[in-house]
Structure 1
């Protein structure tokens, strides 16, 4: 049986954008309720706290975290598909597509496993950072982004103009939120803590920028695939060709094989 699925870059980007906007509004609603509503003790308070934990963008292990990790994993899968197509075409840029697929896989794992969050305190103690560098992971993070950009600069220039612009926009929005606005939230957290209303607003902007950057990147990848790769076929086989080739001859074919020998 053959199943054909047509993916529209614009439609998928619209769906992901609505999802990101919905999560942001839910996070804002939960934060406003925490700051300005006092349901007292009991069921209402438990429901309010559960809602905040479930949808607060700056929290971990909740719905926004799952969404972000899944979106980054989708980026990795699309990049891997492009890398496979480029390898079949013997394109010299295949290593760049492969490297980006690995990077986005690592970003997805980090988003779900909060690896960079675990590194903040040890790095802060080691580097003696404060203020804008209160979240000390931004130091190695910024260095990694710079090295990655330099390593892929020629590759970026070789891309079609439309794809190049979309990649640059996606990267600027994502990195601007993940590192730039993160530094601002660190400055606020160092002075007033993470429960401050201004901190919550800054953190919300940061997460929204990250989600927006990923949506733009997914759109850019699908648009590139549609314009320059055409149809991509995924084939799933229950029997590997090598295993089939090494299969022993059936009893019916054994006499013929012996006669030939």
Structure 2
């Protein structure tokens, strides 16, 4: 499905600009990967919400078994639910408007996004370098930075 949406979005934009087909403008708005509040955005939001639901189920099952780290699964579910909501309604654009930054920080939503990424990537408990826990913390930090960088 993602490949289909990518091909449709790219194809309609190429046709619109290369062929100067102004009649495709409604299709560009509906399928473009660079626009918001359209079909690709809805699809991405639905994927993120489904991830949040799976993470919530994992957190619930881990909590019932009193496994260590069940709260982290629930926090991750909450984070994915928020990102899904943000993807569908564009909260970052409205909240970013509260800051008046320029230059490199013209897109002001980067500031809270980066701080969230850094705080989420911090180890939740002390670990010694080279331990499995430290490796997992490093992987989590890298994954979070990669995700927020895409966002």
TM > 0.5: yes
2:19 to 33, 37, 44: 37
Q: Secondary structure at the match of 1:118?
A: helix
User: For structure 2, which runs of at least 5 residues remain unmatched after alignment?
Assistant: none
**Alpha-carbon separation, structure 2, partners of 1:62 and 1:150:** 34
Alignment of 1:169-208 (within 5 A): 170-178=143-151
For residue 22 of structure 1, report the CA deviation from its aligned partner: 1.8
Contact residue 96 and residue 152 of structure 1 kept, 8 A: no
TM-score when normalising by structure 2: 0.82
1:59-98 CA distances to partner (integer Å, 9 max, x unpaired)?
A: 1221111111111101111111111111111112111111
Q: Which has the higher contact order (CA 8 A, sep 6+)?
A: 1
Partner of 1:20: 2
Alignment of 1:95 with 2:68, yes or no, is no
TM-score when normalising by structure 1: 0.50
**Alpha-carbon separation, structure 1, partners of 2:20 and 2:117:** 43
Label 1:112 to 1:93 Cα distance change in 2 as closer, same or farther (>3 A): same
Partner of 1:129: 102
Alignment of 1:60-139 (within 5 A): 60-123=36-99, 125=100, 128-130=101-103, 132-139=104-111
Partner of 1:236: none
Partner of 1:145: 117
**Alpha-carbon separation, structure 1, partners of 2:19 and 2:79:** 42
Q: Secondary structure at the match of 1:122?
A: coil
Q: Tell which structure's C-alpha radius of gyration is larger.
A: 1
For residue 30 of structure 1, report the CA deviation from its aligned partner: 1.8
**Alpha-carbon separation, structure 1, partners of 2:11 and 2:88:** 23
Label 1:151 to 1:79 Cα distance change in 2 as closer, same or farther (>3 A): same
What is the RMSD of the two structures over their aligned residues, measured on CA atoms? 2.6
**What is the count of residue pairs matched by the alignment?**
146
**Alpha-carbon separation, structure 2, partners of 1:89 and 1:154:** 24
